[in-house]
Amino acid sequence: MPALPDWNVIAAVIFGIFVLYFISRLFFKPLKVIFYALLHLVLGGAVIFLYNLVGPLWGLPIGLNVISALIVGLMGLPGLGMLVALQYIFG
């Protein structure tokens, strides 16, 4: 007849599974937020790059940097419009 495992080992394995579960839940949400911020940053930079293909023809180029890319990435087209308006007013 096979020997039954020790109850301390079973309790340690169950405790380890719970610890891994809670640690993964703890770190997943911040990584998700960082991933979405980087995705919006890249998409905002792409939109500004595409705008800068025709923007200089109108005399309103927008500088491509992290802050402006994040503004356009988070706000979308209204953010691009805001940057164009700021460039028109203060440029």
Q: What would the DSSP string read from start to end of 61-91?
A: -----HHHHHHHHHH-HHHHHHHHHHHHHH-
Q: What is the pLDDT of residues 17-73, one digit of tens each?
A: 999 988 888 888 888 888 999 999 999 999 999 999 998 898 889 999 999 999 999
The reported pLDDT for the residue numbered 8 is 82
Check whether 7 has a pLDDT greater than 60. yes
Tell me the whole-structure pTM to 2 decimals: 0.69
The reported pLDDT for the residue numbered 1 is 54
Domain boundaries defined on the chain: 30-90
